[in-house]
Amino acid sequence: MRSIDVHAHLAPQCMLSTVDSGGEWHGLRLENGDGPGQLVGHGRHIPLFPPHLRYSPEQRIQDMDQQGTDVQVVSIHMPLVGYHLDPAEGLGLAREVNDEISSMTKRWPDRFAGLATLPVQDVDVAIGELERAVTELGLKGAALDTVVNASNWDEELFLPLFKAAEQLGALLFYHPQPNNNLISQQVNDKYAFGNSIGVPLEDALVVAALIFGGVLEKCPDLKVCVAHGGGPACFGMGRMDHAWQVRSEARINIQRPPSTYLNRMYYDTVTNSEPVLRFLIDTVGIDRVVLGSDWPFVGWDPSPAGWVQNLESLTQEEKDKILWQNLEALLGLPS
Amino acid sequence: MRSIDVHAHITPQCFWRATQNGGDWHTIRREQDARGREYSISGDSQGQLPPKSSWTPEQRLADMDSLGVDVQVVSTYAGFYNYHLEAPIAIATSRDANNEVGEMAKAWPERFASLATLPMQDVNSAISELERVMYQLDFKGAMINDNVNGHQLDEPEFLPFWKAAEAMGAMILFHQGGGTLVSSRIRRYHLPNSIGNLADRVVTFASLVMGGVMDACPDLKICLSHGGGYVCHGIGRMDRSWETRAAIRANISEPPSAYLRRFYYDTIVYTEPALRFLIDTVGADRVVFGTDWPYDMAQDWPVSWIFGLESITGEEKELILWKNLERLLGL
């Protein structure tokens, strides 16, 4: 029995050491308030919270031991991706982060695997960095926001990146920003709807964009994983199927109902609820669900792996697939 | 077994008559495109009118007979909310449409019940019109949008409306009109509807709950169309948000999931597993039959769809198809 966690964030030490000494890291400065402080720059405010976000790799490993997580597939804390930066600056950010994640995986190969961050504001530059990350740094793929500035992932300009990822066998892990997404921008955010409603909505939007945009059709071997169980995509797919039946604009890129593409992607267990996880498994298949923790954000259970292990509606065979077998196979991790 | 449909729209005949020869209905016009498709033009927004939307009540009844729908709870087409127009226009269109819907229910009391449309940009006028139709025309409530010109319904200016609806026993059906939250992000593939409707509905649920409206109005009757959208699927993360954020707990003393059974939800979720999930989450006494007549997003043969579902018990089907609505609306 092992546990491999696809959904674990990193605020890189290279960033922390720069801002802690008063410096600016790709446009971000640290503002120390009463609490843990926040990163400020380019009109953004990124809280450095919870305190675990500052943990060194050694502290992180201790916390993983307490959580019962054997391996974390580490990716950037998504508000730091910097897609608004000019491409050269964005590449500088990505290289620093990716080098740091790579060094973690090399020093602790039994405990960490890594996903790159990419300057997708320039697709060619992003492809170059993905190639470097996978072939030189040994990372397993990349973590991506669900929207690129105002662009959705179904847009033609991203196709070369998908083709490159498919060629490299790289996993693309989609994860939205909790404080900067469609809902936080469109709705009064006094009750933090950006996080509670906006995050899963973004997950569903990227699932829809990849399906309806024909990305999965054009890239049959592309590996995609969507955070938070893909949000309500599986639950709401009936309405998307119906729209595909009655609206020609929904059929432009796909000749099969959108629901038939759901089992082409992977989804993590960050679903907050056993019935929701069961619904996901029954919809997409047990081979498509993988463990996620959302580290360092403490979820509804202090041990994500323990939560899965204790679920009554899952068989032990299903638990083994979710906890490690699916990810071991998907990422080619040593057993 | 009876069937009562909470989600059935009408584009009133008074609109079709007024616009017959290029005229307008309180400034609202009608246009045809090159392929003969009809559109209503209301200020700077337009909506496509499907062929059935011009049908008379008699034609509607024949279609209901074919579908197996005994009673429609009729609501005026959401394209005529007219919240974005001057209030006097919305007041006039509301009165006209409501009078016509009221006449239908009076002429065929066994087949139609009525929900009003209201000029929500003017809260006092909306309350007056709701009073008029509830007390004089025997309406059962009203259908409104998930927001009023971008304002969520938990904002303090709407509290008198909620208090009035509660006092009158009016059921408020939530249904998007015009664009949705998704419209600003992506317009392709019909996603503003297929995802957007469901997103708007969960924002409405969360606003009314976390904004304290449900606490302030304990007897308020709310029905969320399209199965409440992403509400039942996403309630766990909303609960988690309540647990970890003092600002939300300051407003409500129980987690959002404790409010699930304060709402009703229609059956427009398209798949048996989704309907089963909804029932298991909110209870069979909170789910009510809906069709979305006469639009293309309506489920085909909705009554026989429910009949044929193997995972729903006969008792649950009775509750969903008619018993819950009969009790809720006093039919």
Give the DSSP letter string of B182-250.
GGGT--GGGHHHHTHHHHHHHHHHHHHHHTTHHHH-TT-EEEESGGGTTHHHHHHHHHHHHHH-HHHHT
Task: Answer yes or no: are the C-beta atoms of B322 and B4 closer than 8 Å.
Answer: yes
Measure CB to CB from residue A240 to each of B194, B199, B245 and give the nearest one.
B194
Cβ neighbours of B273 in A, within 8 Å: 279, 282-283
User: For residue B135, what is the enclosing H or E element?
Assistant: helix B123-136
Q: Please give the model's pTM, rounded to 2 decimal places.
A: 0.98
On average, the pLDDT of chain A sits at: 96
- Return d(Cα B93, Cα B88) in angstroms, integer: 9
| Max intra-chain CA distance, chain A | 59
Give yes or no for residue A193 having a pLDDT over 80.
Answer: yes
* Sequence letter at residue B113: A
Cβ neighbours of A279 in B, within 8 Å: 233, 273, 277
* pLDDT per position as a tens digit, A101-145: 999 999 999 999 999 999 999 999 999 999 999 999 999 999 999
Please report the pLDDT score of residue B90 as a whole number: 98
For an interface test with A, give the residue of B146, B155, B194 to mutate (most A CBs within 10 A): B194
Omega before A109 cis (within 30°)?
no
* pLDDT per position as a tens digit, A270-320: 999 999 999 999 999 999 999 999 999 878 888 999 999 999 999 999 999
Measure CB to CB from residue B233 to each of A191, A232, A249 and give the nearest one.
A232
- Return d(Cα B247, Cα A220) in angstroms, integer: 46
Cβ neighbours of B299 in A, within 8 Å: 242
- Return d(Cα A176, Cα A82) in angstroms, integer: 13
| Chain A nearest C-alpha distance from B282 (Å) | 13
Please report the pLDDT score of residue B325 as a whole number: 98
Contact between chains at B240 and A152 (C-beta distance less than 8 A): no
Measure CB to CB from residue B280 to each of A236, A247, A275 and give the nearest one.
A275
Cβ neighbours of B195 in A, within 8 Å: 201, 204-205, 208, 236, 239-240
Please report the pLDDT score of residue A335 as a whole number: 78
Please report the pLDDT score of residue A300 as a whole number: 82
Cβ neighbours of B181 in A, within 8 Å: 182-183, 186-187
Contact between chains at B194 and A250 (C-beta distance less than 8 A): yes
* Of the candidates A262, A214, A215, A268, the residue with the CA atom closest to the CA atom of residue A238: A262
For an interface test with B, give the residue of A183, A185, A239 to mutate (most B CBs within 10 A): A239
Cβ neighbours of B215 in A, within 8 Å: none
Q: Which strands form A4-10's sheet, in the order they lie side by side?
A: A4-10, A71-76, A112-114
Cβ neighbours of B208 in A, within 8 Å: none
CB pairs under 8 A between A and B: 155
Cβ neighbours of B202 in A, within 8 Å: 197, 201
pLDDT-derived band at A35 (thresholds 50, 70, 90) equals confident
For chain A, percent of residues with pLDDT exceeding 90: 92
A258 → chain B, closest CA residue = B189
For an interface test with A, give the residue of B37, B146, B154, B186 to mutate (most A CBs within 10 A): B186
Task: Answer yes or no: are the C-beta atoms of B216 and B166 closer than 8 Å.
Answer: no
ipTM here: 0.97
Contact between chains at A243 and B188 (C-beta distance less than 8 A): no
Task: Answer yes or no: are the C-beta atoms of B93 and B28 closer than 8 Å.
Answer: yes
A207 → chain B, closest CA residue = B195
Cβ neighbours of B238 in A, within 8 Å: 196-197
Q: For residues B295-312, give the mean pLDDT.
A: 97
Measure CB to CB from residue A191 to each of B186, B206, B269 and give the nearest one.
B206
Contact between chains at B194 and A204 (C-beta distance less than 8 A): no
Q: Measured between alpha carbons, how far apart are the two ends of chain B, in Å?
A: 15
A212 → chain B, closest CA residue = B189
Q: What is the DSSP letter of B52?
A: G
* pLDDT per position as a tens digit, A37-52: 899 998 889 999 888 9
Contact between chains at B195 and A205 (C-beta distance less than 8 A): yes
Please report the pLDDT score of residue A299 as a whole number: 80
Contact between chains at A182 and B181 (C-beta distance less than 8 A): yes
| Max intra-chain CA distance, chain B | 60
B147 → chain A, closest CA residue = A187
User: For residue B176, what is the enclosing H or E element?
Assistant: none
A183 → chain B, closest CA residue = B181
* pLDDT per position as a tens digit, B169-187: 999 999 999 899 999 999 9
For an interface test with B, give the residue of A235, A262, A293 to mutate (most B CBs within 10 A): A235
Contact between chains at A186 and B181 (C-beta distance less than 8 A): yes
Contact between chains at B239 and A272 (C-beta distance less than 8 A): yes
Cβ neighbours of A208 in B, within 8 Å: 189, 191, 194-195
Measure CB to CB from residue B271 to each of A199, A238, A249 and give the nearest one.
A238
* pLDDT per position as a tens digit, A207-247: 999 999 999 999 999 999 999 999 999 999 999 999 999 99
Contact between chains at A232 and B194 (C-beta distance less than 8 A): no
Contact between chains at B203 and A193 (C-beta distance less than 8 A): yes
